[in-house]
A and B are shown apart, each in its own frame.
Chain A
Amino acid sequence: MVTELPTRAVPAPDEAMVRAILRTIADPEIPSVSIVDLGMVERVEVGSLGIDVELLPTFIGCPAQELIRELVIEALGSLGLPISVAFTFRVPWTSERITEQGREHLAAAGFAPPAEPGEVRCPYCGSSKVAMDSAFGPTQCRSLFYCPACRQPFEAFKPV
């Protein structure tokens, strides 16, 4: 008698598959930008015993960390392996880690991508004649600006 081996309904997960799923997870405060485009995903390792994901916090005290951890565990849950998500300071997150696509998505959502204060452009009209109202904005990672050209206040990511 021949016993048929059970066939897997889904292929064994690999790193590309995990990264593709992570690409669908948005920053909880900026729904148009993924955590991948923000440069928060440092390392993905897929083994037969589980999936390890290492993330970089944008700011050390950012309260969104726990929420992002839960979102990652939930999103990768369908792969059927134990998930471990760790935040690390081994590599400091810097604003240069934001991808070109991430910068475009930020601008489309009304946030100026990180730049030194003199280099910031208005995300609405593109004017370079903008003024910083305050280095500190509603979240740790953003500053307050005003654009006199289109009379629009906006937020810019802090360069760190």
Chain B
Amino acid sequence: MTATLMAASLRAALADLLLTMADDEFVIGFSDSEWTGIAPILEEDVAISSIAQDELGHARALYELLAGLLDDGRDADAIAFDRAPEAYRHARLLDHGRGDWAMTMARRFLYDTGDTARLEAIGEGWAPLAELVAKIRREERYHVMHMELWARRLAGAGGEARSRFVAALEDLAPDAPSVLAAAPDEAALLAAGILVRPMAETGAAWRQGVTRILGPLGINLDLESDAAPRTRRAPSADFRWLWGEFTSVRRSEVGATW
């Protein structure tokens, strides 16, 4: 199906899906990139920077797809940077700041497992997204492997490492299902084959996957999805600060080509 032949309602649902996926990748990518130079060990400094760079690349590619679909004169940069903090659609999970290392690892673990489940739910209905997702999956495989490693390492270490990691997971758990909150007009996306299963089903698969990893580590989280909307009505102070950071260059010289 080409974008021009798409019904307006389907196009709006697809645009919302692209924006939520792009904003998620952009916010966690930018937030994690703050560890560059100050991560706990050198190898991890390289790893978290590389992962953040992957996520920003995915965000850019998704914003470019969205710019082409909307065709409203905005390019990927304009969509990424020229919105008020209230207009970002990232999940509530990512409204939490990066905190300490345990918090960053807990947030990444919950996000990467959720994102992987979401990528598996994208079908062939719109070729440009299906092609991009096929490529993204190959890269995300490394992120999930890395996060499982960290979950085992922190939980298995006992002492302060374990207690901080578990506390961070419990702190984030109520907001973790927001990554897989129902998409607006999900029925249209399902009918068009852009999604292959409802988000509720994807959420159930994600909870099973998380339990499979954390259960043997003696960590039990309550990850039942709630009825709260995907995005907070008012963004957190952490996100407002991050927004100030990632838009600062763009705002410093409006209209400049960098």
| Chain A contact residues, CB within 8 Å of chain B | 59-63, 88-94, 133-140, 144, 158, 160
Contacts and interface: CB of A to CB of B under 8 A. Distances in A.
Interface in B4-42: none
A45 B145 CA distance: 40
Q: Is the interface of B mostly helix, strand, loop or mixed?
A: helix
Contact of A137 (B46, B54, B56, B57): B46
Q: Which secondary structure dominates chain A's binding surface?
A: loop
B56 A61 contact: yes
A60 B61 contact: yes
Interface of B: 43-44, 46-47, 50-51, 53-58, 60-61, 128, 131-132, 134-136, 138-139, 141-142, 145-146
Among all A-B residue pairs, the 3 with the closest Cβ atoms: A61-B57, A136-B47, A60-B57
A114 to B, nearest CB: 12
A61 B58 contact: yes
A59 B131 contact: no
Given A92-B131, A136-B146, A60 B54 contact: yes
A66 to B, nearest CB: 12
Nearest to B47: A136
B47 A59 contact: no
Given A89-B135, A92-B135, A61 B47 contact: no
B47 A60 contact: no
26 contacts: A59-B139, A60-B54, A60-B58, A60-B132, A60-B139, A61-B53, A61-B54, A61-B56, A61-B57, A61-B58, A61-B60, A61-B61, A63-B53, A89-B61, A89-B131, A90-B131, A92-B131, A92-B138, A135-B142, A136-B43, A136-B47, A136-B51, A137-B46, A137-B50, A139-B50, A140-B50
Nearest to B56: A61
Nearest to B55: A61
A88 B47 CA distance: 26
Contacts of A62: 57
A137 B53 CA distance: 12
A90 B132 CA distance: 8
Given A60-B139, A160-B138, A133 B56 contact: no
B139 A160 contact: yes
A61 B143 CA distance: 14
A60 B128 CA distance: 14
